[in-house]
Amino acid sequence: MLLTSVIIILREVLEAALLLSILLAMSHFLHLRLRWFYAALAAGVAGSVVYGVQLAAISDAFDGVGQELLNAALQIAIYLLLLVIASLLVVNYYTANYYAGERHRGILSAAMTAAVAMAVLREGSEIFIYLSAFRYSPQPWSGVLAGSLLGAGIGFSVGALFYYLLVGLPRRRALLVTCVLLTLVAGGMVLQATQLLIQADWLPAQVPLWDSSALVAEGSLAGQMMYALVGYEATPTSLQVILYTASVAAMALLLLLTRYHQKKIRTARDVSQAR
Amino acid sequence: MKSIRIYLVVALLSTITLVNFVSALHGYRASMAEAQQLFDRQLADTASLLSAMPASADRPKVVERTGHLAFQVWSPGGRLLMRSANAPPQPINALEEGFENVNFSGQRWRVYSHFSSERNYWTQVAEPVGLHFHLADKVVLESVIPILLGLPVAGLLIWFVVGHGLKSLHLLADALRQKRADDLSPLPLENAPEELLPVVQSTNALLARLQASFERERRFSADAAHELRTPISAIKVHTHNLERELSQYRLPQSPLSLAKLQRSVERMAHLVEQILNLYRTTPDHYPAKFEPLDLHELAREVIAEQHADFAGRGQAIELTGGAAPLEADRFALTILLKNLLNNANKYTPENGRVEVNTRVDGDRVVLRVDDTGPGIAEEEYGRVFERFYRVGGDRHPVPVGGSGLGLSIVQHIARLHHAEIQLDKSKFGRGLSIQVRLPASPGYLSPKGDSSD
């Protein structure tokens, strides 16, 4: 049970921790207050408990695929929020010399609060459901608990070190690295949503395009890291690959357009000031 | 990264957790593999033992008590010779040498099939897989749990160790925080940790540069005072001589221009003196010499010195209160008193009243000057301490010359003595009351509110 618990908890915690560390690092670069973070954490934890308690009703909805659909909806919502967050990051970077303007700051904080709350809700509910399954189990809790603690410990540690790694980046590179990471995480969200929609039969099931489990096994630590960061799957279908590529390309394009637009505005302002 | 301590604790704890937990996982997997081999060896040994036991094909023997183990012994012809009560009568698995996981009796089993070439028996021994994992989990948990429990202890230790390591930084910050504005002496270098040495050295170099700069400024102001006073004194002498020379022409009275010239020279002399006083009393520049003195006595001396000015305008000046011991800079405090009295003298109308009161209030010595002048509107209280600010500007209701520096100088001296200034309405009903609350002499504390009036 220990190893199973490690893998399940690590998978959930790592995914939330990496997203959190990227957004926290962004918050650090833009000198945002951390109130949004605490609010998101509280909302996410409360939401995951409600989700766990109402699991039966959620699962029964939509002809028994309510859980898959709700999870997919959460993943897609997080993807859309990440689009907004990344664009605002670029806007703030170019407008007020890294300092977010008051209007942008408010929208950015709200978007980050919503994204983190949803991510914590999604991952927290999985952990809650997994752990509550052992409530009536005759098996001893020690293995599950030790495994969960090991998984959570590894997940949080990777998240914390990843945060310090990002915060330690030179400001010049921070924007590029954060945008690339956000794009990959956003792609991962779409990939997972696709998989959930395939499970719910809302999207057609297909034969896997390749099998890279011999190269990186999904259950290994590296596999879990890649799953959390880029939504790694050893056996993706062609539909998953297409949707992943499209979502990553859409976000990259949006970021490039925002950057180009902001640079143009800044150049125009510099010219008018020079006159 | 707002706190070095939090950064170090979180980063160190995360690193330790990551390394330890990943090692524990590797250990767990290795231990599980080892345990699996051990269990497999046990199954193989049991199979060998069973194949050596006598068995008859006529009447298959059913063994009742075998614990978790299930077994079967088959003849080469496929007839059951012996089995445990928990094993099915048909073969558990295909009769092929080796290990395999098989489901029967509602659970998953690890099965070993063995062929004994001596007796031509097939033996199959099975043990629940769950039992393997349970036993292995139990063994491995014994080694994992201490790591889990040790982590909070490690966190606590790291917190204290990092706090201790940062003590030198806190001490340096305290030393810098407690430095007086005029204390430019170098920070002590002894016992400074190697990492902080460059910071202390750079700070000391900066302090030395500041000291040299202030010294140059002080010398400049002293020279400027001398250089400015000399020509003004010369102009005064020349105007006096001019007045005498003009009187030889037997004019009925001195020309108006001469009177204006004399007033301007007086005003200029006063302004220069005030600017120099303002500069000299800047807390950052002024090398104060604190000594025990009695404010009441000092006020008496200053009043006596300026009494002629009050008498000249028919004003009544009164010193009330009692002894007010404190440690202060005599020169600076004399300038403060002179400025307050000068203001009271200038702005109080002829035949008005001025009262100077000194008393001790708790741990403070209070100097209060009340007059019957026009007073200051409450909304102006904050601004009158600004340099060159005069209430009403040149349209001041009282047509007296002033530089607008007197109260700025008073504020400098108050700051130098860590004193507070309060402006209020005068006790006479009209006019201004200025209260300066200075720290009393150490060891001289009167009950709060005790007034020596």
Residue position matching structure tokens 């393997």: B132
**List of chain A residues with pLDDT < 70:** 1, 95-103, 138-140, 273-275
Identify the bridge partners of residue B422 per DSSP, sorted by sequence position.
B435
Q: Which of B288, B290, B285 is nearest to B218 (CA)?
A: B285
CA distance A30 to A23: 10
CB-CB neighbours of B405 under 10 Å? 22
Interchain pair A156, B11: CB under 8 A: no
- Residue pair B451/B377 in contact (Cβ under 8 Å)? The answer is no
Interchain pair B137, A2: CB under 8 A: yes
Tell me whether residue A140 is exposed, middle or buried, using C-beta atoms within 10 angstroms of its C-beta: 0 to 12, 13 to 18, 19 or more. middle
Interchain pair A150, B21: CB under 8 A: yes
Q: Which two tokens stand for residue B292?
A: 């025990």
CA distance A89 to A108: 8
Q: Which two tokens stand for residue B293?
A: 């003195």
Residue position matching structure tokens 């605002």: A88
Residue of A nearest to B11 (CA): A161
Residue B358: strand, helix, or coil: strand
Out of B10, B25, B148, the one facing A160 most closely (by C-beta) is B10
- Chain B residues within 8 A of A157 when measuring between CB atoms: 13-15, 17-18, 21
Q: How many CA atoms lie within 13 A of A100 on its CB side?
A: 21
Q: Are strands B325-329 and B364-371 parallel, antiparallel or unpaired?
A: unpaired
Out of B17, B28, B140, the one facing A153 most closely (by C-beta) is B17
> What's the pLDDT at A72?
94
- Chain B residues within 8 A of A154 when measuring between CB atoms: 17-18, 21-22, 25
A158 membership: H or E segment, kind and range:
helix A141-167
> What's the pLDDT at B453?
39
> What's the pLDDT at B448?
47
> What's the pLDDT at B320?
93
- Chain A residues within 8 A of B131 when measuring between CB atoms: none
User: What are the contacts of B274-280 at 24+ separation with CB within 8 A?
Assistant: B274/B403, B274/B405, B274/B406, B274/B409, B275/B403, B275/B405, B276/B221, B276/B224, B276/B225, B276/B228, B277/B335, B277/B339, B277/B405, B277/B409, B278/B387, B278/B405, B278/B408, B278/B409, B278/B412, B279/B221, B280/B221
- Chain B residues within 8 A of A164 when measuring between CB atoms: 1, 7, 10-11
Q: Residue type at A148?
A: S
How would you classify residue B100: left for phi > 0, otherwise alpha for psi between -120 and 50, otherwise beta? beta
Q: Residue type at A115?
A: A
Out of B17, B133, B145, the one facing A146 most closely (by C-beta) is B145
Interchain pair B140, A160: CB under 8 A: no
Out of B7, B25, B32, the one facing A150 most closely (by C-beta) is B25
- Residue pair B412/B281 in contact (Cβ under 8 Å)? The answer is yes
Local mean pLDDT, 10-residue blocks, chain B (453 residues): 84 91 83 84 88 70 79 83 85 85 87 85 88 74 81 91 89 85 79 85 91 82 78 88 80 75 86 80 74 93 93 92 90 92 90 93 92 88 82 59 81 89 90 92 55 40
Interchain pair A153, B144: CB under 8 A: no
Interchain pair B137, A154: CB under 8 A: no
Out of A2, A142, A153, the one facing B28 most closely (by C-beta) is A2
- Residue pair B439/B364 in contact (Cβ under 8 Å)? The answer is yes
Residue of A nearest to B15 (CA): A157
> What's the pLDDT at B318?
93
Out of B10, B24, B141, the one facing A142 most closely (by C-beta) is B141
Interchain pair B141, A167: CB under 8 A: no
- Residue B232, Cα to own-chain centre: how many angstroms? 50
> What's the pLDDT at B75?
82
| Whole-number Cα distances in Å, A264 to A90, A95, A97, B80 | 13, 11, 15, 88
Interchain pair B18, A221: CB under 8 A: no
- Chain B residues within 8 A of A221 when measuring between CB atoms: 22, 25
B50 membership: H or E segment, kind and range:
helix B4-51
Report the gap between the CA of B102 and the closest CA in chain A (Å). 20
Report the gap between the CA of B1 and the closest CA in chain A (Å). 8
Interchain pair A3, B11: CB under 8 A: no
CA distance A153 to A10: 8
CA distance B349 to B331: 29
DSSP E strand stretches across B225-332: 290-294, 316-321, 325-329
Chain B residues whose C-beta is within 8 A of a chain A C-beta are: 1, 7, 10-11, 13-15, 17-18, 21-22, 24-25, 28-29, 32, 133-134, 137, 140-141, 144-145, 148, 151
Residue A153: strand, helix, or coil: helix
Residue of B nearest to A168 (CA): B1
CA distance B322 to B446: 13
pTM over 0.80? The answer is no
Q: Which of B218, B234, B226, B173 is nearest to B200 (CA)?
A: B173
Report the gap between the CA of A88 and the closest CA in chain B (Å). 23
Interchain pair B1, A154: CB under 8 A: no
pLDDT tens, A235-255?
Answer: 999 999 999 999 999 999 998
- Chain A residues within 8 A of B10 when measuring between CB atoms: 160, 164
Instruction: Give me the helix-helix angle, A141-167 and B4-51, nearest 10°.
Output: 140
Interchain pair B1, A167: CB under 8 A: yes
Residue of A nearest to B28 (CA): A3
- Cα angle at A45 between A44 and A46, to 5 degrees? 95
Q: Residue type at A210?
A: W
A122 membership: H or E segment, kind and range:
helix A102-132
| Whole-number Cα distances in Å, B42 to B38, B48, B123, B126 | 6, 10, 14, 11
Out of A1, A154, A161, the one facing B11 most closely (by C-beta) is A161
> What's the pLDDT at B450?
43
CA distance B237 to B229: 12
Out of B22, B145, B151, the one facing A221 most closely (by C-beta) is B22
Q: Which two tokens stand for residue A250?
A: 């859409």
CA distance A78 to A80: 5
